[in-house]
Structure 1
Amino acid sequence: MDTVSPTTLLCRLDEIPDGGATAIEDVAALDGESVIVARRGGEVRAWLNVCPHAGRRLDYAPGRFLLKDELLICAVHGASFNRNDGICVAGPCRGEHLRALALELRGDEVWLAPCDRP
């Protein structure tokens, strides 16, 4: 299995709205996948932008996500994922989870951490 390069910069912290999420497109270290990056203050989480239900993107428009309370909601079929751990708590893929990505914060930059590719 390939390893994600330790030199993969995703974005700057200020490019992610506090309390919100954005998409980083065409991440070369992940074979061009789209990545969801969510932020609360200085805490950042990331997942592949792929719903486990049907393999479609979660955003309703490029980089735009449905967020309600602690949930990230798939715009296609309404699957609702806990923003803390990526577990689907409601919808057609209940109990499944988004593919989490390990991150490193380096100052005000968000980097993919070296790890096996999902």
Structure 2
Amino acid sequence: MKTKSELIHSWIRKAEKDLLTAEHELSFSDAVTESICFHCQQAVEKSLKAYPVVLGIPFTKTHEIGELITKCENKDKKISAFKEEADKLTDYAIGVRYPEELLEPTLEEAKEAFEIAKKMKEFVLNRIALE
């Protein structure tokens, strides 16, 4: 079983890989926006799964970014500032992977998702550093 520190670092490493994948895809002229948005959602989700571990808050398996932020709000009100913006990415967890959902983000939406993911990861990294 991983230590608390190992678990936190594992979540952050996974989030960073998703963010790197999104960044690579954004560099192409024919960028696949569904992939970018999915990996941005995953980066935010994984960053947010590291933070409850830091705060000592249990969480269940979920793709709901708003739910993860709500869990953290009880111990860190500053995270509330990201809730509305970051929760926009929740739909990308499933909506871009299945044809029934027909969610096809534009390049601008993909770029916005990338910026949100970068901000959320930086917030979590800064908060972890304070602990």
TM-score by length of 2: 0.29
TM-score by length of 1: 0.30
More helix by share: 2
